[in-house]
Structure 1
Amino acid sequence: MSTPFTKTPGWLDWYQNPSEPAFALPPGTVDTHCHVFGPGAEFPYAPERKYTPCDASKDQLFALRDHLGISRNVIVQATCHGADNSAMADAVKASGGRARGIATVRPDVTDAELAVLDEAGVRGVRFNFLKRLVNSAPKDDLAVIARKIAPLGWHIVIYFESQDLAELEGFFGSLPTPLVVDHMGRPDVTQSVDGPEFGRFLRFVERHDVWVKVSCPERLSVSGPPALDGEREAYTDVVPFARRVVEEFHDSVLWGTDWPHPNLTDHMPDDGLLVSYVPHVAVTSELQQKLLVDNPMRLYWPGEWV
C-alpha cells in the first residue's frame, strides 16, 4: 500500500484478511457507508487534508464487497480528498451500476458540474461538522449548496457529534432535502439509551425527513472489540442504541461498514465481525431485510426497488 505520501503517524491500515461472517447477509445487501482512498499516485490527497491515509482502492473495496456477500456500495467522499471527487466518482463508474456516490462540493459548484456528478452516480453531498476533520462548516455556504442540489433529488449526509445537535438542529431542519445521519449522530454510549441526549436525537429523527445509519460500532464503543478468549462479544455497549433506532425507525435505517475505517488508532475492526454484529441490532429477518436491502434500495436505486 505504498504511496508518494507519508501516512499520518499512528494510522492503522485496514484489516487485510477479514473473517468469514457468521451471519449470511440477505441477497441485495447494500453497504451505504464506505470510502476509497486514492491510490494517492493516481488520485492525490488534498493539500488541506487533516490526515494522510493508507491507500484503499476501488478494486480492494470491491473485493471486500464480494467476500462479505454485499451486493452494492454507497461510496462517501473522504475528507482527505477535499472537494476533488475524482477517486470516488471513478470507483462509482467502475462498479457497473453497483455503486452510488456521496460528494463533497463547494458553494461555487456549477449546475454543469453537478450534472456530471449526477450522471456518474452521485446521489448526495456530505456536510461534515466534526472539527477534527474540517476547519469549518459555515452554514450560509452549506445552505447555498443545499439549494443547488435540491432540484436533482439528492439528499444531504450530515456528520456531527451528539452533543452538538442542540446547536445544529435548527439548521438541519431548514435544509430543503432529505437528510441522512452518519453513525447515529455519534451518541455517547456511556450514557443511558433512555437519557436526554439520545432522546433529543430520537425526537429529531421523528420530526424530520431523516434516514439513520446504524454504522460504526467500532468508532462509538468504549467496551471495544471482542476479547481474544471469547469472553466478550464485540461492541456490546453500542447495541442498545442501534437496536432502539432500528426498532423505532425501521423504514428509514441504513447500514454500512465504514471501510477502510479512517482515523482509528486503537484497533482496526475485522469487517467479517462487523457483518456478524448486524443481527444483534436488527433481531428479526424482517428488520434485517429493511435495514440491509429495502431501505437503501428505496433511497439509492428507487427505479430498481420492488
Structure 2
Amino acid sequence: MQGTDAPQRARFAVPALACDAHCHVFGPADRFPYAPSRRYTPGDKPKEMLAAVHAGLGLGRAVIVQASCHGTDNRAMLDALRWAPARYRGVAMIDDATTDAELRAMQDAGVRGIRFNFIKALGGAPDMRVLHRAADRVRPLGWHMVMQLQGDGVREMEATIRSLDMPVVIDHMGRVDPALGVEGPAFRTLLDLLRDPRIWVKLSGAERMTTAPFDQALPFARALLGAAPDRVLWGTDFPHPNLTTPVDEMELLNLVPSFAPEEADRQRLLVDNPAALYGF
C-alpha cells in the first residue's frame, strides 16, 4: 500500500475470492514500452507489485484494465493474465489495427472486455466509428464495453450507451462532481441508466472525486449499490495514475462497509458480481 498513515488491516471480514475489478500494471518499460502517443509516463508498476498489494488486502482475484499510457499494446496486461490465469481477467484497448488472431489470443488469456477513454486529459472522446466497429467485433465473443467518462460526459454519452447491444460498464461512478450531490444531473442520468439490465458501474474512484477520508464519495456509492446491487463492482484503481497525492488501497477497501454495511451486499460487490461478469 502506498500511504503511510492509513489503516494496515481491513476493518471487516473480506470474503474469500474478493475481486479488485479495476487495477493496472505498468511496464516494466524495458519489456513493455509505453505508447509514443501517451499523455503521461508512469513509473513501472509490474505484475509482482500488483500481486503484493492484493496479498496485503486479502484479495484473491483481479481485473487488470489496460491503461492509456500503454495504448493498444496490451502485452503487459496479457503477460500478467498468463502469469496467474485462475486469479486474473483483463480489459483491453483495441482499434482497427487489432487483428482477429490477437482478439482470439486475448480471449484465451482471459480478456473479457474493451475500454475507451473519454477524459479530456487523456485525449478526449475516441473516434466513435472505431468504437462501434470494435463493439461489433467483440460482441460475438461475449465481451463488454468499459467507458471512462467524467461528469457531464455521462449525459453526453447516454444515447450511445443505450444503443450498444452489449453490457456496458461505467468506470469510477462516472467521475461525477461531488459538489453537485446525488441530485446532480450527471449522477441522476447514471442512476437512470442502471434501470437497463445491461449497464454496470464501478464503485471505485473515490480518490478521484474527493480527498481522504473520502466521505463525500459515500452517498454516491450507496445510491448506486441500492439501484443495482447485482451490477456493481469495486476496485482500487492501483496505482492511481495521474494523482499527485499518495493513496492507500487499504483505506479505500475500508470504505466498503460504509456504503455496503450488509454482508450479502459485500459478497455480491466483491465476489459474485465480478465472477458473473468476468467468468471466474
Assess same fold via TM > 0.5: yes
- Give per-residue Cα distances to partners, 1:249-305, cap 9 Å, x unaligned: 10100000000110001x21111111111101111111111101111111112xx5x
Greater helix share, structure number: 2
| Partner SS state of residue 157, structure 1 | strand
Alignment of 1:29-68 (within 5 A): 29-68=18-57
Equivalent residue number for residue 243 of structure 1: 222
- Pick aligned residue for 2:148 from 140, 159, 162: 159
- Partner AA of 2:258 in structure 1: H
Residues 179/192 of structure 1: CA separation in 2 closer, same or farther (3 Å cut): same
Equivalent residue number for residue 297 of structure 1: 275
**Superposition RMSD on alpha carbons, in Å?**
1.5
Measured after TM superposition, the shift of residue 175 of structure 1 is 1.6
- Pick aligned residue for 2:120 from 131, 139, 152: 131
For the pair 1:15 / 2:37, whether they are aligned, the reply is no
Equivalent residue number for residue 177 of structure 1: 166
Percent identity of equivalent pairs: 44
Measured after TM superposition, the shift of residue 108 of structure 1 is 3.1
The structure with more radius of gyration: 1
- Pick aligned residue for 1:252 from 231, 244, 255: 231
Alignment check: 8 A CA contact 2:118 2:124 kept: no
- Give per-residue Cα distances to partners, 1:119-143, cap 9 Å, x unaligned: 1111110011112112540111110
Measured after TM superposition, the shift of residue 23 of structure 1 is 2.6
Alignment of 1:74-89 (within 5 A): 74-89=63-78
Residues 160/135 of structure 1: CA separation in 2 closer, same or farther (3 Å cut): closer
Structure 1, unmatched stretches of 5+, are 1-13, 226-233
Alignment check: 8 A CA contact 2:3 2:247 kept: no
For the pair 1:271 / 2:249, whether they are aligned, the reply is yes
Measured after TM superposition, the shift of residue 169 of structure 1 is 1.2
- Partner AA of 2:2 in structure 1: Y
| Partner SS state of residue 238, structure 2 | coil
User: What is the TM-score normalised by the length of structure 2?
Assistant: 0.95
Measured after TM superposition, the shift of residue 40 of structure 1 is 0.9
Measured after TM superposition, the shift of residue 149 of structure 1 is 0.3
- Give per-residue Cα distances to partners, 1:78-102, cap 9 Å, x unaligned: 1100100000000011014210010
Measured after TM superposition, the shift of residue 75 of structure 1 is 0.1
Mapped to 2, the partners of 1:96 and 1:143 lie a distance apart of 29
| Partner SS state of residue 192, structure 2 | helix
- Give per-residue Cα distances to partners, 1:174-196, cap 9 Å, x unaligned: 22211011001111111121333
- Give per-residue Cα distances to partners, 1:26-82, cap 9 Å, x unaligned: 111010000001011111111000000011010010111111100101000011001
Alignment check: 8 A CA contact 1:23 1:275 kept: no
- Partner AA of 1:298 in structure 2: A
Mapped to 2, the partners of 1:75 and 1:121 lie a distance apart of 10
Structure 2, unmatched stretches of 5+, are none
Alignment check: 8 A CA contact 1:76 1:101 kept: yes
Mapped to 1, the partners of 2:206 and 2:3 lie a distance apart of 19
